[in-house]
Structure 1
Amino acid sequence: MPIEDLLAPTLPAWTAADGPLADVLADLDPDDLALVVGVADGDDPWEPRVRQALATAGFDPDELIETHEPKTSVGSTTVVRMPRGDQAARLVVLVGLGEGGSRDLRLAGAAAGRATRGRGQVVVLAPSADEAGQAAFVEGAVLGGWAPARFTGGTWTAGADVATAVVLVDAESDVVERAVRRAGASLLARNLANTPSNIKNPAWMARQARTVASRNGLDVRVWDEKALAADGFGGLLAVGGGSVTPPRLVQLGYAPAGADATTPHVVLVGKGITFDSGGLQVKPADGMLAMKTDMSGSAIVLAVLAACRDLDVPVRVTGLLALAENMMSGAAYRPGDVVTHFGGMTTEIGNTDAEGRIVLADALAYADAELDPDVLIDIATLTGAARVALARTMAPVFAADADLSSQLRAAGETAGETLWPFPLVQAYRRALESDVADINHIGPSVGGGSITAALFLREFVGERRWAHLDIAGPGRSDVDSGVHGKGGTGFGARLLLRWLEGLR
């Protein structure tokens, strides 16, 4: 199994082919080849184009159906091993397409990716769909064909032997290439999120960011603990004060070719708690098991910046990674402390286990004061309340204006990463009032924990167009199923890239 580069996950070599299926298969070794074909709901599972392509390539479409009776439900797979002879492929994988919408095609692609792991050559007859549907199939196949990396023998190895090469027949090359790059961003974020916290700390994440910047032509700046103190980032210093590994703030910058002062500027802020013990208000043991993924927001922002150049994102993008480890010690911050954030606003600490919003506040205040963005977005595994409200399949979006919320939700639907609009209930703001500071960072008297967290963050963004994505639910998966591997999911990376690609 190959050594894994966490910042460049192992993927098949994807290409698109316009030529007839028979011509593509003729150039390949049938003994090392898997052919993937979708079967649809309806009286005839073969659409005319697929039936003709199979027949021309030497397969009997009716015999495949009558003998093997493949299921057409979305994500089902039927593996057919063909006899030796004149067949163009020894292995045929029939994948259920369901109703053929983008959601079903993404799940069908994931099933195809899993079924063809480890194959030398894979040829896929693209399902009939628009560009969004074909991209969804490819993204699903990339995500499903991958498994979390493993640390064995002192090195990272790929979690699964992915296919060596995949050819998608009857698809546009640009659609395939862009879909692979978006899915690759999700995998980069997953690799970082799944890295154990005895390896991953704020300085380690900062080093990964420097490597990403070097590989992708990004500007980079890193604040260490001395620079954070000098510039007044009191939130990061407070949360990271109890750890032997000090906090960091990382700034990454991308600009498209020809960018100038009039080019729109987006700032993305990611929560980067590399391990969350809860601090002095320590979590139960079971509550800590998944906390290596509590830096998923920062991993997603890093992955998005890494993909901007290859996807020709048309706007300037700055990423801020707010990195700290929340531990307990004699130097840890305490309930009742007052923290001074970047820019001077003060916060009374109500619970040391609500640390994510404290580090985000510093980064948001800095972005508002120093970076002058047209749009400011933060993404974080922030509140258990969001997970209780929406479970694991979607995330709340809080936005300062309806148009931004609508844009992000539309991008999420295209990417298969669903957002649900949550309100910024002004009546709940009084629960954040403090007798000793400008604000208290939790509001236990009213409930609605994801809403009060968003209200707290809103205090640090000025009058900017701003949105907050709370991915505490879909940011982690407990199972290896569908498009997800067990662990961090990278939820939000493809969504944000889709949104950025559409900006002008």
Structure 2
Amino acid sequence: MARRGSSSPFPSLPVVAWQPGLPVHGSSTWVVVVGEQDGLPAAAKEAGGRLGVDLDRLLEVQRATGFTPSAGATAAYPLLTGEVTEILLVGAGDGSANDLRHAGAAIARFGRGKDELTTVVAEGIDDAALQAFAEGVVLGSFSYTQKTVDAGKPAVGTVTLTDGSADKRQPVIDRGVVIGRTGWLARQLAITPSNEKDPSWLAARATEVAAATGLEVTVWDEKKLAADGFGGILAVGQGSTRPPRLIRLDYVPKGATKKTPYVVLVGKGITYDTGGLSLKPREGMVSMKRDMTGGGSVIATLSALRDLGANVRVTGLVCAAENMPSGTAYRPDDVIRHFGGRTTEVKNTDAEGRLVLADGLAYAVQELKPDVLVDIATLTGAIKVSLGAMLYGGMFATDDALADNLADAGRVSGEELWRMPLPAEYEDLISTPIADSVNSSKGPGSITAALFLKAFAGDLPWAHLDLSSIAESPADRFEYSVGATGAGARLLSTWLASETPTSGIG
């Protein structure tokens, strides 16, 4: 994941730097960020004068040929003389943080293969928009390939930002880079092919992250899982020759006391999902290497909390298994005993994610006793039917303040959530005379899955994030590249690093 020869578990990201005042010597490519309402930044006009370019006239010409300053739109203009050889106009839309994130990503894509870009933004850009812009530069730089020929251009080396003022804004940019890094890391974990990625591989990556960021890490192997009674994780993983793992990461902020709020995150870590004996069709298996997106996002989130100065204690639990058919695989009609003793009758081995999450939730309730409990998963295809693709992730919650705080973080991070209902009337759909519940029903699939998990969350304020609807991008668009999106890492990092993430909860 890191640059060859590096001991860091993190990828090599572009350098995003703030320059007070206009640079005396910039790069050979200057980028001008243009808003729909405000037009050219004042500093850009000054820069154009230095370059001998009438940028107002250039913008007028580009508009005439179809350029509009919508978020992420680009138009390049070559210069025939001087040290600067190219000017790029990039649309900032309405100037909101979300649109500036799109603009940053567009600049990163344009900058592939270049050593440096000098970028002029509007004077007085607020902190939220500047941070989002830096996030976009990082996210738009993402690529993953194992090609040995035509591997594509590397990410831009450095993007220098300025609004022409003497202000010092590097801490805001650094925060954006860290948030962007969580999305990059979660995406890279999710996109790694499953012939390389199995539960022990995921545990090894989490251990590397913990060592680099000052986290405590504990890993349960299959023997310890059996000894401690994690029946759901063991059942799902027993069909594979590559055994399951439970990964625990712990973050404690500096100066923490007994009164410091405590949050537990539980992530689905299915490193490949064939459906087990309830075998998926071939088309349904494609992209199932990213069925551990929830677990990867938990790892990525924990990796950022110290850099972001989060003031809550956080434990991340990643319930990792590979769901395979074999002579040792679990079967429909099996009864599983989860951590803590609750039982589940299996009706569909392809409803495996909730079985591993159930163990993690039960462990959190009985052993960790947090103030807030959140699980995150690519859990159901049904949420895509409800919400479509790439706009909203599904959220179920037992606490209104928790739901509001997560929704706010979703809007800020660009990973938006839509709250779904948890009607008790549907609980009969997962009832059975054989066990405490069944793991699958013919009812509304995302809701009954959430109701199944709710029983394991006890009386804690709890939220379930079903992000299958935003886990895969069909194309390179804005801050996403085609394939796995690493959904949830930016959302959770933004929430936990806010000033009062647990405000009003309980």
TM-score interval, normalised by the smaller of the two chains: over 0.9
The corresponding residue for 2:45 is: 51
Cα distance in 2 between the residues matched to 1:4 and 1:370:
40
Letter of the 2:30 partner, please give it. L
Aligned-pair identity in percent equals 47
The corresponding residue for 1:192 is: 189
Cα distance in 1 between the residues matched to 2:197 and 2:113:
29
For the pair 1:114 / 2:116, whether they are aligned, the reply is no
The corresponding residue for 1:36 is: 31
Shift of residue 295, structure 1, vs aligned partner: 0.5
Shift of residue 152, structure 1, vs aligned partner: 4.2
Shift of residue 47, structure 1, vs aligned partner: 4.3
RMSD: 2.0
Cα distance in 2 between the residues matched to 1:51 and 1:375:
50
The corresponding residue for 2:320 is: 323
Q: What's the TM-score, normalizing by structure 2?
A: 0.93
For the pair 1:373 / 2:370, whether they are aligned, the reply is yes
For the pair 1:472 / 2:436, whether they are aligned, the reply is no
Cα distance in 1 between the residues matched to 2:148 and 2:98:
39
After superposition, where does 1:191-340 map in structure 2 within 5 Å?
Answer: 191-340=188-337
Cα distance in 1 between the residues matched to 2:244 and 2:33:
49
Shift of residue 40, structure 1, vs aligned partner: 2.2
Report if aligned partners of 1:7, 1:191 keep a CA contact under 8 Å in 2. Answer: no
Report the 3-state secondary structure (helix = DSSP H, G, I; strand = E; otherwise coil) of the residue aligned with 1:94: strand
Cα distance in 2 between the residues matched to 1:482 and 1:47:
22
Report if aligned partners of 2:395, 2:463 keep a CA contact under 8 Å in 1. Answer: yes
Report if aligned partners of 2:380, 2:445 keep a CA contact under 8 Å in 1. Answer: yes
Change (3 A) 1:503 1:378: farther
Gapped runs of 5+ residues in structure 1?
A: none
Cα distance in 1 between the residues matched to 2:122 and 2:428:
54
Cα distance in 2 between the residues matched to 1:502 and 1:54:
39
Cα distance in 2 between the residues matched to 1:238 and 1:364:
16
Shift of residue 62, structure 1, vs aligned partner: 2.4
Report the 3-state secondary structure (helix = DSSP H, G, I; strand = E; otherwise coil) of the residue aligned with 2:469: coil
After superposition, where does 1:9-88 map in structure 2 within 5 Å?
Answer: 9-19=11-21, 21=22, 24=23, 26-28=24-26, 30=27, 33-42=28-37, 45-55=39-49, 58-69=52-63, 70-85=67-82
Letter of the 1:168 partner, please give it. L
After superposition, where does 1:98-177 map in structure 2 within 5 Å?
Answer: 98-128=93-123, 129-147=125-143, 149-152=144-147, 160-170=153-163, 172-177=169-174
For the pair 1:423 / 2:421, whether they are aligned, the reply is yes
After superposition, where does 1:342-357 map in structure 2 within 5 Å?
Answer: 342-357=339-354
Q: How many residues align?
A: 489
Deviates more, 1:173-182 or 1:104-113: 104-113
Report the 3-state secondary structure (helix = DSSP H, G, I; strand = E; otherwise coil) of the residue aligned with 2:135: helix
Cα distance in 1 between the residues matched to 2:265 and 2:454:
15
Change (3 A) 1:49 1:84: closer
Report if aligned partners of 1:71, 1:78 keep a CA contact under 8 Å in 2. Answer: no
Q: What's the TM-score, normalizing by structure 1?
A: 0.93
Report the 3-state secondary structure (helix = DSSP H, G, I; strand = E; otherwise coil) of the residue aligned with 2:344: strand
Report the 3-state secondary structure (helix = DSSP H, G, I; strand = E; otherwise coil) of the residue aligned with 2:227: helix
Cα distance in 1 between the residues matched to 2:426 and 2:308:
41
Letter of the 2:155 partner, please give it. V
Cα distance in 1 between the residues matched to 2:308 and 2:341:
38
The CA deviation string for residues 342-366 of structure 1, in whole angstroms up to 9 with x for no partner, is: 0000001110000000000000000
Cα distance in 2 between the residues matched to 1:200 and 1:48:
50
Report the 3-state secondary structure (helix = DSSP H, G, I; strand = E; otherwise coil) of the residue aligned with 1:150: coil
Cα distance in 1 between the residues matched to 2:152 and 2:57:
36
Cα distance in 2 between the residues matched to 1:440 and 1:224:
26
Change (3 A) 1:66 1:477: closer
Cα distance in 2 between the residues matched to 1:61 and 1:369:
64
Gapped runs of 5+ residues in structure 2?
A: 501-506
Report if aligned partners of 2:232, 2:359 keep a CA contact under 8 Å in 1. Answer: yes
